[in-house]
A and B are shown apart, each in its own frame.
Chain A
């Protein structure tokens, strides 16, 4: 199959998936009937705001008309209005999404790189004391609830040592960065702890998978041949084992984006980190339905896009996929 045909096919699959998620979200938001009923009772929300929303989203219309209306709205990038933040949802997402992508991207990258180096090294020292210890550590870290690791790191580094801000969202509001340099320092300053916490949790699982992948590669014939030919161990490790273990790692990563996203949502909640996870958490607590809907759609979309990109990378790394 040609490259473009493969890309197109995967693209269409992703779009269908997103459509179904759109429908699922539509249903979920309406399980309990009128999603705006909660607002109508709330005296803090001006009645005309609710009336406008009902009018605009056609909440009193029959369901199929509501659904068409909903799809049209979404495709015009109108995700509704957040009652709590008093802003259009799309605006909120535009400001919060980059933070989430940064958190996800950095933590996944750090964990993958570290586990690739350490995991393949462990495979060469298979069965040694170090190997056993690291497997034990990996399994242990993997058992820790993400938010608990986050809480401990927050407690120690932000509260006890005062090295990092205790609330990134508040910090960002009180000290808005003025120039590029300040932006970069602020970025690292407020995201360091969440990134470290998430990377730690990913590392536990990634290490075990990478070690397993490297182990099965290292018994393959071409590695035996390379050893027989007399290549040095470090050469075999760097040039053969790591490279061939990357594929299973990529598969593993692509199967896990949905789970990784879950971890990042909860870490954002622990640190009050200004990402979409924090938004959806606030929205759920405050029953801010349009924000729930918008944030949920965006989180799913991010997973779909990441999956798509991973598949493309996989295809570039492994030409056999294209032939299938």
Chain B
């Protein structure tokens, strides 16, 4: 099972890399992961201390300029990238795992479990996710763990639905029937025979979930519903919108305070979208590769 996963991951990366858009995505993503890991080394200044006059436009010293308290936006962004990627990846993994399990079990087992989970999925897909997440985070708390759990618990239905419909068709394949005829138990069939066939879909959904989680986390932070000490790119934008004890970026004309953090979020998400597009092309041969 573990070996299957590694093999299919390596295979996916090869295929993704063979498509230009996918290659760009992979390179961008590697770059951002490196930046996230090395934020402490790469940041030229302390992200939480004023290092200059407020509202300094970008210059060789402060390449992204400074914010309303004179803190270096570039250093703050580097730490923000780390938070965004960590939250995105953890949430994406959790979302995909839940969706994969629910989809697998309800698709293979059918019956009551299937009816209940399908109904649940349908209902959860009609609840607008962001307001729900906002309300939950506001009522529970704004910490790292809560945000990850809340986003994952509200976004797995999308994955589960796709996995379920794929399992429904795989279940009828002859090799599965053969395994059943040989007396394989249902958990063996599910994990040994059906799961590997669903893995490509799960990988494509993992990518979608990660970029979704990054955007939602940024949105929550932007709305001021995150702990401001866990520096993230959305928090920078929240400070730009509301001002930090001083005027907002709008009033101060500090366009750099808005432009750079948002551009970084977009580029991180873009790297995932590009990879996702390449995965779709690889899975769906009807689309042409370029």
**Contact A280:B134 (CB < 8 A) given known A17-B126, A145-B262, A166-B250:** yes
Instruction: Determine whether the beta carbon of A216 is less than 8 Å from that of B128.
Output: no
Task: Give CA–CA (A212, B218) in the complex, Å.
Answer: 29
Residue with the greatest number of chain B CB neighbours at <10 A, chosen from A127, A155, A259, A303: A155
B128:A151 contact, CB within 8 angstroms: no
The answer to whether B127 touches A303 (Cβ under 8 A) is yes
Contacting residues of chain A (251-302) with chain B, CB-CB under 8 angstroms: 255, 257-259, 261-263, 265-266, 269-270, 277, 280-281, 284-285, 287, 292, 295-296, 299-300
Tell me whether A152 and B258 are in contact in the complex, defined as CB-CB below 8 angstroms, given that A139-B277, A265-B130, A296-B131 are known contacts. yes
Q: Name which of B136, B251, B258 has the most chain A CB atoms within 10 A of its CB.
A: B258
Decide if A148 touches B250 in the complex (CB within 8 Å). Answer: no
Instruction: Name B262's closest neighbour in chain A (CB-CB).
Output: A148
Complex Cα spacing A304 to B124, Å: 11
- Beyond A148-B266, A266-B219, is A32–B139 a contact (Cβ under 8 Å)? yes
Q: Are B140 and A258 in contact (CB under 8 A)?
A: no
| Contact count A vs B, C-beta below 8 Å | 138
Q: Report whether B140 and A32 are in contact in the complex, using a CB–CB cutoff of 8 Å.
A: yes
- Residue B125 interfacial (CB < 8 Å): yes
Query: What separation, in Å, do the CA atoms of A126 and B286 have in the docked complex?
Result: 13
Instruction: Given the known inter-chain contacts A21-B123, A143-B266, A259-B129, please indicate yes or no for A152 contacting B211, CB distance below 8 A.
Output: no
Complex Cα spacing A32 to B141, Å: 11
Stretch with Cβ within 8 A of A (4 or more), from B167-175, B188-196, B268-276: B268-276
Q: Does B203 contact A (CB under 8 A)?
A: no
Q: How distant is B58 from chain A, measured CB to nearest CB, in Å?
A: 16
Question: Digit string of B234-253 for contact with A (CB within 8 Å is 1, else 0)?
Answer: 10010011000000011101
- Candidate in B138, B251, B258, B259 with the most chain A CB atoms within 10 angstroms: B138
Residue of B nearest to A131 (CB): B290
At the interface, yes or no: A140 with Cβ under 8 Å from chain B?
yes
A1 within 8 A of B: no
Residues facing A in B208-254 (CB within 8 A) are 211, 215, 218-219, 222-225, 234, 237, 240-241, 249-251, 253
Closest residue of chain A to B254 (Cβ to Cβ) is A155
With A151-B240, A281-B223 known as contacts, the answer to whether A31 contacts B129 (CB < 8 A) is: no
> Contact partner of A258 among B128, B222, B265, B290, CB < 8 A?
B128
- Using Cβ atoms and an 8 Å threshold, which residues of chain A touch B134? 265, 280-281, 284
Check if A130 is an interface residue, CB within 8 A of chain B.
no
The answer to whether A142 has its CB under 8 Å from any CB of chain B is: yes
Bound form: Cα–Cα A144–B270 in Å? 8
Inter-chain contact A216/B131, CB cutoff 8 Å: no
State the Cβ distance, B178 to closest chain A Cβ, in Å: 32
Residues of A within 8 A of B51 (CB): none
B3 sits at the interface (CB 8 A): no
User: Bound complex: CA of A106 vs CA of B184, how far in Å?
Assistant: 55
Task: Decide yes or no whether B135 CB sits under 8 A from chain A.
Answer: yes
Q: A303 contacts B126, CB within 8 Å?
A: yes
User: A171: CB under 8 A from chain B?
Assistant: no
* B273:A143 contact, CB within 8 angstroms: yes
Majority-rule SS of A interface residues: helix
A255 to B122, CA, bound (A): 10
Residues of B within 8 A of A136 (CB): 21
Contact of A29 with B by CB under 8 A = yes
- How long is the Cα–Cα vector from A160 to B258 in the complex, in angstroms? 14
CB–CB B270/A258 < 8 A: no
Query: For the complex, is B255 an interface residue (Cβ under 8 Å from A)?
Result: yes
Q: A145-B218, A147-B237 are in contact. Are A262 and B130 (CB under 8 A)?
A: yes
Cβ of A307 under 8 Å from chain B: yes
Contact between chains at A147 and B128 (CB < 8 Å): no
Q: Is A296 in contact with B132, judged by CB distance below 8 angstroms?
A: yes
At the interface, yes or no: A154 with Cβ under 8 Å from chain B? yes
Interface membership of A113, Cβ < 8 A: no
Q: Any chain B CB within 8 A of the CB of A313?
A: no
Chain A residues 5 to 47 lying within 8 A of chain B, measured CB to CB, are: 17, 20-21, 24, 28-29, 31-32
Q: Is the Cβ of A261 less than 8 Å from the Cβ of B131?
A: yes
Query: Chain B residues near A24 (CB, 8 Å)?
Result: 127
Q: Please determine whether A216 and B270 come into contact, CB atoms closer than 8 angstroms.
A: no
Contact A300 B126 (CB under 8 A): yes
- Docked Cα-Cα span, A265 to B131, in Å, equals 7
A17 touching B262, Cβ below 8 Å:
no
Let me know if A265 and B128 touch, CB within 8 A: yes
Within 8 A of A (CB), among B103-143: 122-123, 125-132, 134-136, 138-140
Residues on B with beta carbons closer than 8 Å to the beta carbon of A285: 138, 223-224
7 residue pairs, one from A and one from B, having the closest CB atoms = A262-B130, A148-B262, A261-B128, A143-B270, A143-B269, A284-B138, A258-B128
- Since A152-B259, A281-B223, A285-B223 are in contact, a sample of 16 more A-B pairs with Cβ atoms closer than 8 Å, ordered by chain A residue number, is A17-B123, A24-B127, A132-B290, A143-B270, A143-B272, A144-B266, A145-B219, A147-B222, A151-B240, A158-B250, A261-B130, A265-B128, A285-B138, A300-B126, A300-B127, A300-B128
Interface residues of B (CB under 8 A from A): 21, 122-123, 125-132, 134-136, 138-140, 211, 215, 218-219, 222-225, 234, 237, 240-241, 249-251, 253, 255, 258-259, 262, 265-267, 269-270, 272-274, 277, 286-288, 290
29 A-B residue pairs with Cβ-Cβ distance under 8 Å, sorted by A, are A17-B123, A28-B139, A29-B139, A31-B139, A32-B140, A136-B21, A143-B211, A145-B218, A145-B222, A145-B265, A146-B219, A148-B237, A151-B262, A155-B255, A159-B251, A160-B253, A166-B250, A257-B126, A265-B128, A280-B134, A281-B223, A284-B138, A285-B223, A296-B131, A296-B132, A299-B128, A300-B126, A303-B127, A304-B126
